[in-house]
């Protein structure tokens, strides 16, 4: 994947985010000594493109002190089964000690795209990936997730709030067996705030990273 300057920031104090979806991953957010590389499968529109295709990759630490947001370009004619978005920053050691998540969106950074591509974060294509984790900034409020209309899957998200974790507070775990294998999954999230329930839809592509 093509990338010029790698943009990342490390702050002395935590920064609160206004976004709701912070990570869509086939791995969890545990600290790891593995390189902070992001790997995805290849959606149809990345396969042998005629012109460069922009992809936004964002990495955030749960404590709100680290954030990287970079637009990569899928080059024309790209024809592999997985995409490797390399980390070329200077704070790999800082990230290794922290819970953190990654989000990959098929668009330029800054655009509001409601589609995400599942990623392996700090892992390899051989990593088992039977559960999709969607990490939400729900401000500690109860949240839940449904696949489609919720006929086959509807579950409460796990509250992962902690005093030093400002970026996300809910882990919505969805076994991949409940996701359609050949089309985007429509996930509906429900967040209860002051006795009022809010909902929003996120589409997740069906691709899985593989060797």
Domain boundaries, the chain: 8-204
Mean pLDDT, rounded, for 97-101: 91
Where is average pLDDT lowest: 59-73, 107-121, 144-158?
107-121
In this structure, are residues 189 and 137 in contact, taking their beta carbons and an 8 Å threshold? no
* Predicted confidence (pLDDT) per residue in 132-147, tens digit: 999 999 988 999 999 9
In this structure, are residues 9 and 59 in contact, taking their beta carbons and an 8 Å threshold? no
* Predicted confidence (pLDDT) per residue in 183-209, tens digit: 999 999 999 988 898 999 999 998 776
In this structure, are residues 102 and 95 in contact, taking their beta carbons and an 8 Å threshold? no
- DSSP assignment of 102-158, as one string? EEEESS-TTS---EE--EEESS-TTS---EEEEEE--TT--EEEEETTSSS-EEEPE
Where helices occur in the chain by DSSP H, the ranges are 92-96
* Predicted confidence (pLDDT) per residue in 105-114, tens digit: 999 998 777 8
* Predicted confidence (pLDDT) per residue in 12-60, tens digit: 877 767 789 999 999 999 888 888 889 998 888 788 889 999 999 999 9
Q: In the chain, what is the greatest distance between 2 CA atoms, to the nearest angstrom?
A: 51
């Amino acid at each position: 994947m093509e990338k010029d300057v790698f943009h990342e920031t490390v702050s002395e104090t935590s920064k609160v985010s206004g976004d709701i979806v912070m990570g869509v991953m086939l791995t969890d957010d545990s600290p790891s000594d593995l390189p902070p590389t992001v790997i995805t499968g290849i959606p149809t529109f990345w396969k042998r493109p005629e012109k460069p295709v922009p992809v936004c990759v964002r990495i955030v630490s749960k404590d709100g002190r680290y954030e990287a947001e970079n637009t990569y370009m899928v080059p024309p004619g790209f024809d592999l089964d997985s995409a490797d978005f390399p980390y070329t920053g200077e704070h790999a050691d800082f990230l290794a000690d922290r819970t953190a998540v990654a989000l990959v969106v098929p668009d330029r950074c800054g655009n509001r795209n409601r589609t995400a591509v599942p990623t392996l974060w700090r892992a390899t294509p051989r990593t088992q990936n039977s559960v999709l984790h969607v990490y939400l900034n729900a401000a500690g409020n109860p949240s839940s997730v449904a696949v489609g209309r919720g006929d086959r899957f509807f579950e409460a998200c796990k509250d992962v709030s902690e005093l030093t974790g400002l970026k996300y507070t809910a882990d919505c775990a969805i076994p991949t067996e409940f996701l359609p294998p050949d089309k985007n999954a429509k996930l509906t999230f429900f967040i209860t705030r002051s006795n009022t329930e809010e909902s929003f839809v996120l589409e997740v592509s069906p691709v899985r990273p593989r060797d």
